[in-house]
Homo-oligomer: A and B are copies of this chain.
Amino acid sequence: MTVRTSPSPISHQWQLMRRPVGVPVAEDFRYVSVELSPLADGEVRVTNEFISVDPYMRGRMNDVKSYTPPYVLGETMVGGAIGRVTESRSDALAVGDLVQHFQGWRDVAQGAAAQFRKTNEIAGVASSVFLGALGMTSLTAWVGLFVIADMQPGDTVFVSGAAGAVGSAVGQIARSRGAGRVIGSAGSDEKVAHLIDRYGFDAAFNYKMGDVAGQLATAAPDGIDVYFDNVGGDHLEAAISSFNDGGRAALCGAISSYNSSEPPVGPRNMSMLTTKGLMLKGFTIGNYLEYSPQFAAEVGPLVASGKIVYDETVVDGIDNALEAFGALMRGENLGKMVVRIGG
């Protein structure tokens, strides 16, 4: 007779093995199966429903000084995720609870209950939405507009990468606060149409058709007051040229340079910062989490009622997470990119 213990649970995870040069390649990562140890007192185990893949993660793959520390080589990449508690040795969380956490690129997560935040479910709202339109993504839009760029009613607002999860939230949240004119750029004609038809932008253009400065000047004949930058590079230079006196930019990311191993060319019109009294301010959302309640109170009802709409691009399977990230880098997503676990 053989005595068998029940098998240890397995967690499938993605780890960064070397710093990518330029566009990340498969060889920069490894996909591992980890045997999980039994829970200690105060710990919970969570089976993820969705994990978030976001542009900022490309930055964390580099070894650069930053508010957000770089990914540690040989360790599993962290990031936003949402799942359900499947086993609990903590009074704080019960089996079945929906929880958010930052353990990222894995299908099963476990650790001290304090690392997991219980999420109040909303009828009819998929759990993925708490990673996007009701989560960090829209919080990023809200903080950039109001805390960083001090958007005021009547302002003309320009957002680059506007068909992405952050960009589409920027346009709609700006509109809901009374922006005078909302302008977006995106990387295809289909996305441009989507910005106007679905997200209600007043004007939009395809930056891959060239001459960003010229297209922006046409879309904003009276100039812009606020710029929400997801792209950097020629978009930032174009925004500086189109700014009215006193313009403000919230710099959220620079996807145009994430995969470049050459230093990008900087804006050639920086002297306009002085002559027009402009402000550029960068931010990473991790330093502004204290605004979450204020954001949720304002934006939650708008999303729940459908006044703010959103799209998701869903990739199935933790084994496809790296492919999802690559598609995100190539701009193949519409709205928030998530990986569905277990489907």
Cross-interface CB contact of A273 among B251, B269, B272, B278, cutoff 8 Å: B251
Taking CB atoms and an 8 Å cut-off, the chain A residues in 238-287 that contact chain B are: 245, 251-254, 257, 263-284, 287
Interface check A122, CB cutoff 8 A: no
Interface size on A, residues (CB 8 A): 38
In angstroms, how far is the closest chain B Cβ from the Cβ of A323?
25
Complex CA–CA separation, A232 to B67 (angstroms): 25
In the bound assembly, the distance between CA atoms of A332 and B228 in angstroms comes to 42
Given A67-B245, A245-B67, A273:B266 Cβ within 8 A = no
A248 (CB) vs chain B CBs: closest residue: B281
**Cβ of A276: which chain B residues have Cβ within 8 Å of it?**
65-67, 282
Closest 9 CB pairs of A and B: A266-B266, A273-B282, A274-B282, A66-B275, A263-B268, A266-B267, A279-B281, A254-B271, A280-B280
State whether the Cβ of A236 lies closer than 8 Å to any Cβ in chain B. Answer: yes
Contact with B along A226-238 (1 / 0, CB 8 A): 0000001000110
Tell me, yes or no, whether A68 is within 8 Å of chain B by CB: yes
A321 to chain B, nearest CB (A): 24
Beyond A275-B284, A277-B284, A279-B281, whether A270 also contacts B236 by CB under 8 A is: yes
Contact A264 B270 (CB under 8 A): yes
Find out whether the CB atom of A284 lies under 8 angstroms from the CB atom of B279: no
How far apart sit A263 and B241, CA to CA, in the bound complex (Å)? 13
A232 to B268, CA, bound (A): 11
Q: Say whether A64 faces chain B, with CB atoms less than 8 Å apart.
A: yes
Q: How far is the CB of A78 from chain B (nearest CB, A)?
A: 17
Asked if A59 lies at the interface with its beta carbon under 8 angstroms from chain B, I say yes
CB closest residue in chain B, given A272: B282
List residues of chain B with CB within 8 A of the CB of A272: 282
Q: CB-nearest residue of chain B relative to A244?
A: B65
A280 near B273 (CB under 8 angstroms)?
Answer: yes
Quick one: which of B232, B268, B283 contacts A265, CB cutoff 8 A?
Answer: B268
Evaluate contact between A280 and B283: CB separation under 8 angstroms.
no
Contact B263 A266 (CB under 8 A): no
Q: Which residue of B lies closest to A254 (CB)?
A: B271
Do residues B232 and A68 form an inter-chain contact, with CB atoms below 8 A?
Answer: no
Q: Is the CB of A271 within 8 A of B232?
A: yes
